[in-house]
Homo-oligomer: A and B are copies of this chain.
Amino acid sequence: MTDSDNLHRLDKAISLAPVTEGDTSVLRGETTPEYWNMVGPFGGSTAATLLRAVLMQPDVHGEPVSLTVNYAGPLGEGEFEISVKAERTNRSNQHWTITQTQGDQIMTTASAVTAVRKDTWTDVEAEPPSAAAPEEIESADPFPGINWVGSYDQRFVEGAIPNESSGEQDTSRSTMWVRDNPPRPADFYSVAAKSDTLYPRAFLRKGTYLPAGTVTITIHFLADAAELDSLGDDFVLATGYARRFGRSYYDQTSEIWSRDGKLLATAHQMVYFKI
């Protein structure tokens, strides 16, 4: 048994081997079946993988504060390369750019800010949606043919995935408890991935599947490493909604809450759709 057999499936998906180091570092990874989406890998695991490329750099300064990922084209199965560069390092923060390629094709571009965080005045002003405990809610069924959904235990509080009898809805809001399957301790990677787990809001509004795909996601990390570490492998509460649909795109905002009511992260997407 190798080390790799002991790794959680998420850690396997975000595993990267350094290829070259320098002003721009290059790392190599490989797609894994457990996070496969319809075409290409799940956007959340790609985001986590790019974040890992940054946090593996020996000169990384601080913890992630933001990550923007632009999905330029769907990765094929197999190996990919990631180039990562610290564009500027300041006293309290660091600005990164990241590019993911397969062969000579650019598949994903990204940028991240890491920062040294200090104690300041603190307040969680937003409020989590009300929700029964995850233990009182049944797990959602897996999506046939969409592997990555099986890598999560999703328990819907509201706005469950539509079925044949759902019909159109007035609201795009879904709220669900979500945990890695199998469970895995929380860190920036798992939160980044979970911030993309809510299914496309257009499905809910229209009560049906339709072509939809994230073109860009921006994740803001509101919790620090110590706070994420204290969560263990517990469920987090993901809630999300869209503000406006039209002319081939809509926005989607997701919030990731801890069970004790702390907002851990937000994610803001623009999603392509067709209907």
Partner among B68, B107, B120 whose Cβ is within 8 Å of the Cβ of A273? B120
Segment among A52-60, A141-149, A174-182, A237-245 that sits at the interface with chain B: A237-245
Whether A106 touches B115, Cβ cut-off 8 Å, given contacts A243-B124, A251-B220, is no
Partner among B106, B117, B241, B272 whose Cβ is within 8 Å of the Cβ of A93? B272
Answer yes or no: A274 CB below 8 A from chain B CBs. yes
Q: Are B215 and A115 in contact (CB under 8 A)?
A: yes
Answer yes or no: A160 CB below 8 A from chain B CBs. no
As for how many copies of this chain the complex holds, the number is: 2
Give chain A's interface secondary structure class.
strand
Interface string of A119-144 (1 = CB under 8 A from B): 11111111000000000000000000
A222 to B251 Cα, complex, angstroms: 8
Of chain B, the residue at the smallest CB distance from A255 is B243
Binding site for B on A (CB under 8 A): 65-66, 68, 70, 72-73, 87-88, 90, 92-93, 95, 97, 99, 105-107, 109-111, 113, 115-126, 171-172, 205-206, 215-216, 218, 220, 222, 224, 241-251, 253, 255, 262-263, 266, 268, 270, 272-275
